[in-house]
Structure 1
Amino acid sequence: MRAFALLALPLLVACVEPTTTPRPGGSTTAPAATSSNAAHLTPSQANREFVRVVQTIEPIAEAECRRRAPRSNCDFLIVIDDRPNQPPNAFQTLDDTGRPVIAFNLGLIAMAHNADELAFVLGHEAAHHINGHIARTQANAATGALIFAGLAALTGAGENEVRAAQDIGATVGARSYSKDFELEADALGTRITARAGYDPVRGAAFFTRIPDPGNRFLGTHPPNAARIETVRREAAKL
């Protein structure tokens, strides 16, 4: 793995709630990681820290993937989305061969206050893949589409109405457990971050600077306070 420019990939599992509807082994010991104590990283510092974080977190995440999901492709490809003027974001998806891809955009790297935050976000995104969240989201979407389309057909709805119900069902199904998936990724991401030598609790301070989605019905992300509490609780077990 080495970071490079990412031109376009579907956003499937994002660490920052999108403003549009999303489309549905062995043990490794890493060297202790160091973090900047500055209140905010300069652009050059952020870029250097990002490279260090990737080099440190990636083998830990891949080892955890092989241990927890031995049938999965655990060869992470970590890339940078260098499109200008994008809101801060990171996401996990799969390429055409099924290889897990984690993308950071420049906005998110720039907003990091320290390496712990970059490490936690990377660990979180890796955890989405290890936990199989893309496949589980797609399965939930398919189930929702089937149920809603079936109910519409039973009421005598026409073809267009059934198709619309199917689309709504897919959205409802995909979002039904998305908050749980985020908290699962936060918990496993905490472990990955800590095993790489970073401080996940300090890293989770990232949530204090992004919009709080609250606890909206069918929202894609849980409240920021719930995410921070999950990290603190998981870190206390380590």
Structure 2
Amino acid sequence: MRFLPIVLIAALAACEPVDVTAPTAETPVLQQAPAGPRLSQRAALRNFSSVVATVEPVAERYCRQRSPNLNCDFRIVVDDRPGQPANAYQTLDRNGRPIIAFTVPLIAEARNRDELAFVMAHEAAHHIRGHIARQQQNATVGALVFGQLAGALGASNSVDTAQQLGATVGARTYSKNFELEADALGTEITAAAGYDPLKGAQFFFRIPDPGNRFLGTHPANADRLRTVQEVAARL
């Protein structure tokens, strides 16, 4: 399989709303299942090709139904730059076409097609929910508020610094909610494509848990697992 180049202009730190039920303490967290052995390179690439062919048209259909004003022609690529961690992300090219990129280590780390399908559906959901644009809006508002506050306090020489800080705070304020929204809609897309989102969410057990850090960009893995479990139960 030939690795494809990518054009990155607006990546996530990584629409019509879906019904997202906030995770509750009463909801039992999905239990970890045996991960199974790592796949061979050939098997991993075969799984990736199959998932791309299956999930992309479903994600495109969801996109056209829920966000008809967006470009829904997803392009799935492999980020083969050396030294990349196991990661996937959604971005846009210069023409606004949505790109979903997988690094080579992530493809190798996924133990089955369900995990790859869930990751792909999650990234597609970021685009469908308009998270890049919403994050940019939050950053703009944060920069404006912090800049005005610095000006009101007479710290004119610190306005630029305050605006930079405000943009950072604004961009991250809702990023955890964005991840949970993408998990919820991604669960729907995964199931609609014929994969098991609960089995796919097992991937969370093998990535670092960000916990609930101040201004962290991702919610705790337990919250994400509960979200997947609750949405899957309603399907």
TM-score by length of 1: 0.87
- For 1:172 and 1:190, locate their aligned partners in 2 and report how far apart those are by CA, in whole Å: 28
2:231 matches 1:234: yes
Q: How many residues align?
A: 215
**Pairing 1:122–2:120 present:** yes
- 2:203 aligns with 206
Whole-angstrom distance in 1 between the partners of 2:36 and 2:5: 29
Question: What residue in structure 1 maps to residue 4 of structure 2?
Answer: 5
| Residue 192 (structure 2) aligns with | 195
1:39 Cα deviation after fit: 3.5
Gaps of 5+ in 2: 15-34
CA contact 1:3–1:78 (8 Å) conserved in 2: no
CA contact (8 A) 1:90 1:102 kept: yes
1:46 and 1:14 map into 2 onto residues whose CA distance is 26
Instruction: Please say which of residues 5-14 and 148-157 is displaced more in the overlay.
Output: 5-14
Question: 1:110 corresponds to which residue?
Answer: 108
Aligned-pair distance for 1:14? 5.5
Conserved 8 A contact 1:11-1:91:
no
Give secondary structure in 1 for the equivalent of 2:211: coil
State the Cα deviation string for residues 51-80 of structure 1 (Å, max 9, x = none).
Answer: 000000000000000000001000001100
Determine the C-alpha separation between the residues in 2 that align with 1:183 and 1:6.
Answer: 29
Q: Which residue of 1 aligns with 2:32?
A: none
Q: Distance in 1 between matches of 2:145 and 2:13?
A: 26
| TM-score (normalizing by structure 2) | 0.88
The farther-off stretch of 189-198 and 3-12 is 3-12
Query: 1: distance between equivalents of 2:91 and 2:2?
Result: 15
Matched, 1:172 2:169: yes
For residues 100-149 of structure 1, what are the alpha-carbon distances to aligned partners after superposition, in whole Å with 9 as ceiling and x for unaligned?
01100101101001110000000000000000000000000000000000
TM-aligned CA distance change 1:85 to 1:174, over 3 Å: same
**What is the CA–CA distance in structure 2 between the aligned matches of 1:38 and 1:152, rounded to whole Å?**
54
Higher relative contact order (Cα pairs below 8 Å, separated by 6+ residues):
2
Partner SS, residue 102 of structure 2: strand
SS in 1 for 2:84: coil
Q: Name the Cα RMSD after superposition.
A: 1.7
Q: Which amino acid aligns with 2:114?
A: D
Residue 180 of structure 1 deviates from its aligned partner by 0.3
Shift in CA distance, 65/3, structure 1 to aligned 2, threshold 3 Å: farther
User: What is the CA-CA distance between 1:85 and the residue it aligns to?
Assistant: 2.2
**Shift in CA distance, 38/207, structure 1 to aligned 2, threshold 3 Å:** closer
Deviations 1:152-178 (A, max 9, x none): 01111124x100000000000000000
